[in-house]
Amino acid sequence: MREQLITVLDFFGLACWLEITTNHPECIYYFGPFLSQREAQSYSQGYIEDLKGENAVGIITKFKRCKPKTLTIFDENISYSKSAIVI
């Protein structure tokens, strides 16, 4: 039942996603979908540790209700939000 609810929320762009941006490499990663921000946050440290293990620096996390078309975006012209948390 829980997975079906997440599927419906994701279909309408209402599921919670974790957006992680890095300065080097310049990437945006989306992890999810999750039922809530609390659930996404419970997984965030593992994703951050994985990125640090790949020598990523300037890691910024944000929680969004969205429906990303691409899970990993690599672009030299990515603009970063100032309202995010830098780790």
List pLDDT tens digits, range 30-46.
999 999 999 999 999 99
Q: What pLDDT, on the 0 to 100 scale, is given for residue 80?
A: 54
81 band by pLDDT with thresholds 50, 70 and 90:
low
DSSP characters over 11-64: HTT-SEEEEEEETBTTEEEEEEEESSHHHHHHHHHHHHHHHHHTT-BS-EEEEE
Give the whole-number percent of the chain exceeding pLDDT 90.
82
List pLDDT tens digits, range 16-33.
999 999 999 999 999 999
- Give the pLDDT mean for 56-65: 97
